[in-house]
Chains A and B, each alone.
Chain A
Amino acid sequence: MKRISAAIILFLLAFGVFANGGGESALGSDEPVTLTFASWSIQEKGAQDYFNELKSDFEAANPLIKIEFAGYPYGELKKQVLIMANAGESPDIIQCARSWYPSFVSGGYVAELDSLLGKDYIKDIYPEILADMQVDGVTYGIPWKVSPFVLFYNKDLFARAGLDPNTPPKTYEEAMGMAAKLSLLKDADGNSVYGFGQTTGAVPVSGGAVLSMFFSYGGGIMDSRGNLDVVNNGNKAALSALAEMHRKGYNPEGAKLKDLRNLFAIGRLGMYFDQLWGMVGAYAINPDLRSSVGVTNPLGGNGAAAGSTLEAHLILISEDSAHKEAAAEFIKFATSPAQMAKYYAITPFLLPRASQAKAAPDYTSDPGIVPVLNYAETIRTVEKHPEMENVFLALTTAAQAVTVGGKSPDAALADLDAELKTLLK
């Protein structure tokens, strides 16, 4: 009988230990928790200080939760996280670029956040942004810093070309007219100035820029019922415009965003589309540029309303994390108005939540932000298919086909249609 009693007691004790989760995060418990945060920003010189301060601020406010960074270069992070997750070593929190988001969601790697963060937190996100984060009404990612493809223009070059430096274009048609004048300019060394830059380099982010151009001409790759719709008038008009920009020498051939930033920084590009934080790269090359830079919302074309993909850095929680609630606390802390104000001080971006904008008077009066404060209206939702990164690359191929490839927009769209049918089947 004694043995049976001892066995029952041992069983209950063991059950008690396991029921407690063996270190499971339950907030409010006295067990210290360490969260692994996979991030590329922690490796970037300009953001390192902010990220270390975020960690120490959070740990001071939450003494039982420690943050441990797993830093990887931007180009490596997605791959490393997927490898870690498949090896059962998933980080708790993941910094994620918008173009990778579908891979994490469709692969089942990330947790649903609606209940973890609460309804009030979720509904504070601008509806257009939230729509882009949701799959079947479920939120898997929290937008951290966001931007559409805004148009940057050089006010000094505008003035030299006889254009009003305070009146940027609103449509592609206006921009083409301005590009014609800007393209006649030369820099101090006699090099010609490009009028109007649109990235077409073979990288996913350029594909996002091309898709934004499709949106702005009333096109896109899906119809309203979610079926593939590539060969349409909007896309044809967008590719025709790209071909014209190339033919007339307004746009540098096959340029990546970094190439356009370089040219803009040295005064050889009149205007171009970029993410809001892209200008940090240009300022690093030419700090004197600040006073000459103007910014405006994406342009409309062919009478259609301006549109853009959402360019964003997101925060995700791993599905395998044993500390989801603690991770959710970290997300709330990192995206709190106070922290966002600190983050905003080192890099320009747009705020994805209404309460963040309300609590930041500097933001709403920043001349670099004011022209694009209503940016959310331009955001168009993009598919959450695991092959989206390849879709973006296929879009750059179509853009290259009508520019350096010399193909007609019809032929390029037919090729794109065939490629997307294979990728998205």
Chain B
Amino acid sequence: MTRNSKTGDRLFGVLLLVPSILIVGGFIFLPVIQSVYYSFFDFKLTRKKLPLLWNGGANYRGLWESGKLQNAFFITFQFMLIVLIAVFLIGLLMSLAMNKGRKAERTARSLALLPWGTPTVIVALLWSWMFQPEYGVVNFLLMHFKIISEPLGFLVNPDTALASVAVAAVWRQLPFMFIMLLAGLQGIPAEMYEAAEIDGASPRQSFWHITLPFLRNVIRSSILVTIITNFKQFPLFWTMTGGGPMGRTETLAILTYKNAFVNLNFGVGAAVAASWMLTLILFSLLYNRIFKEAEY
């Protein structure tokens, strides 16, 4: 191949990439860059025809000084950890229990997938009603079994609101984790367990030394998806608590939405979004570096 034809091939390759670069750049990178740019300006719709004014990071300073940004980060991480731990542990137990080859497992698996097919807003409304103090089934059951004597306002009490939203999130996200782990389990060669059994390994040793290592890649991807899903969780919070009570469920997504689309202060909204985006990018890079893909 001559030098000229190589250059021509390269140019042709670049030419083929141009539409994709334009589409991805135009629809993803440009709005992101624009959002970061606006985060340094006074940009409010509540003032008519107000020109964009550079405020030198005042949006970030204001957020920091009000303590709302730190609170939102804390609440977001707290929520993400609660949901992640619960979803992973329950999902793992479910997948182990439903990987025995019994007849009823197929029906049970189909039923377990139901929450996944339910739109998140519907899940939020459903759980809001279930947690309702006067007519909600949760209060009814707790009172019926004498666990509580008075109905509890799960979503309006600062001590229970975040956990209540987490319950709805776990219910919604469990099928994803379950199905991923189950698929991973079914991909482990049966010979590995047979060999371990011949060598006298206990079920616990098989789990720690065969199951978990073989599931490593699936766990790695599922956990990353769960982290990102819950880091940006919006519909559950907005529908169930709106960020209340007393800011106890005001996550980064809620803080962004409130500033940008309720207060129509796009500058501050963009500042929250930029802080959040940067954190998530750094986290993803770090995560991928720590949990490098395993090779067998």
Please give the residue numbers on chain A whose beta carbons come within 8 Å of chain B beta carbons, in ascending order.
79, 82-83, 85-86, 103, 106-109, 191, 201-203, 249, 252-255, 259, 262-263, 268, 319, 386, 389-390, 396-397, 400-401, 404-405, 422
- Complex interface: stretch among B27-35, B52-60, B74-82, B241-249: B241-249
Q: Can you identify 13 A-B contacts, CB atoms within 8 angstroms?
A: A79-B261, A86-B49, A107-B46, A109-B48, A191-B134, A201-B244, A202-B244, A253-B133, A263-B134, A386-B47, A397-B244, A404-B153, A405-B246
Q: Are A252 and B133 in contact (CB under 8 A)?
A: yes
Within the complex, what minimum Cβ distance (angstroms) separates B264 from chain A? 6
Q: Are B244 and A249 in contact (CB under 8 A)?
A: no
Counting chain A CB atoms within 10 Å of each CB, which of B45, B156, B241 scores highest?
A: B156
Within the complex, what minimum Cβ distance (angstroms) separates B280 from chain A? 27
B residues less than 8 Å from A319 (CB atoms): 48
Within the complex, what minimum Cβ distance (angstroms) separates A283 from chain B? 19
A residues less than 8 Å from B246 (CB atoms): 397, 400-401, 404-405
User: Which of these, A79, A107, A254, A263, contacts B156 with CB under 8 Å?
Assistant: A254
Majority DSSP secondary structure for residues of B touching A:
loop
Q: Are B45 and A82 in contact (CB under 8 A)?
A: yes
Given contacts A254-B245, A400-B158, contact A107 B134 (CB under 8 A): no
Given contacts A202-B245, A400-B245, contact A83 B47 (CB under 8 A): no
Within the complex, what minimum Cβ distance (angstroms) separates A66 from chain B? 26
**Is B288 part of the contact surface with A, judged by Cβ < 8 Å?**
no
Counting chain A CB atoms within 10 Å of each CB, which of B45, B247, B261, B263 scores highest?
A: B45
Q: Are A202 and B49 in contact (CB under 8 A)?
A: no
Known A108-B47, A397-B247; further 14 A-B contacts with Cβ < 8 A: A82-B46, A83-B45, A86-B45, A86-B48, A106-B47, A108-B49, A109-B48, A201-B244, A249-B150, A252-B134, A253-B157, A262-B134, A400-B244, A400-B245
Q: Are B46 and A106 in contact (CB under 8 A)?
A: yes
B residues less than 8 Å from A86 (CB atoms): 45, 48-49
Q: How far is the CA of A334 from the CA of B108 in the complex (A)?
A: 61
Within the complex, what minimum Cβ distance (angstroms) separates A419 from chain B? 8
Within the complex, what minimum Cβ distance (angstroms) separates A200 from chain B? 8
B residues less than 8 Å from A263 (CB atoms): 134
Q: How far is the CA of A10 from the CA of B104 in the complex (A)?
A: 89
**Is B66 part of the contact surface with A, judged by Cβ < 8 Å?**
yes
Given contacts A397-B247, A422-B66, contact A405 B153 (CB under 8 A): no
Counting chain B CB atoms within 10 Å of each CB, which of A109, A254, A405 scores highest?
A: A254
Q: C-beta contact mask, B254-283 vs A, less than 8 Å → 1, else 0? A: 000000011110000000000000000000
Q: Are B48 and A202 in contact (CB under 8 A)?
A: no
In the complex formed, the residue of A with least CB distance to B245 is: A400
Given contacts A253-B133, A253-B156, contact A108 B48 (CB under 8 A): yes
The 3 A-B residue pairs with the shortest CB-CB distance in the complex, in nearest-first order:
A254-B156, A202-B244, A253-B153
User: Which of these, A107, A255, A389, contacts B48 with CB under 8 Å?
Assistant: A107
Q: Are A405 and B45 in contact (CB under 8 A)?
A: no
Given contacts A252-B133, A254-B153, A397-B246, contact A390 B48 (CB under 8 A): no
User: Which of these, B47, B245, B261, contacts A404 with CB under 8 Å?
Assistant: B245
Q: Within B4-50, which residues are at the interface with A (CB < 8 Å)? A: 45-49
B residues less than 8 Å from A396 (CB atoms): 244
A residues less than 8 Å from B150 (CB atoms): 249
Q: How far is the CA of A263 from the CA of B151 in the complex (A)?
A: 14
Q: How far is the CA of A253 from the CA of B261 in the complex (A)?
A: 28
A residues less than 8 Å from B45 (CB atoms): 79, 82-83, 86
B residues less than 8 Å from A109 (CB atoms): 48
Q: How far is the CA of A394 from the CA of B155 in the complex (A)?
A: 18
User: Which of these, A202, A253, A404, A422, contacts B242 with CB under 8 Å?
Assistant: A202
Q: Are B153 and A85 in contact (CB under 8 A)?
A: no
A residues less than 8 Å from B242 (CB atoms): 202-203
Q: Within B124-149, which residues are at the interface with A (CB < 8 Å)? A: 133-134
Q: How far is the CA of A397 from the CA of B244 in the complex (A)?
A: 8
A residues less than 8 Å from B245 (CB atoms): 202, 254, 397, 400, 404-405
User: Which of these, A79, A253, A259, A268, contacts B264 with CB under 8 Å?
Assistant: A79
Q: How far is the CA of A108 from the CA of B46 in the complex (A)?
A: 9
Q: Are A404 and B156 in contact (CB under 8 A)?
A: yes
Q: C-beta contact mask, B226-254 vs A, less than 8 Å → 1, else 0? A: 00000000000000011111110000000
B residues less than 8 Å from A252 (CB atoms): 133-134, 153
A residues less than 8 Å from B241 (CB atoms): 202
Q: Within B192-246, which residues are at the interface with A (CB < 8 Å)? A: 241-246
Counting chain B CB atoms within 10 Å of each CB, which of A83, A249, A253, A405 scores highest?
A: A253
B residues less than 8 Å from A103 (CB atoms): 46
Q: C-beta contact mask, B155-194 vs A, less than 8 Å → 1, else 0? A: 1111000000000000000000000000000000000000
Q: How far is the CA of A386 from the CA of B263 in the complex (A)?
A: 10
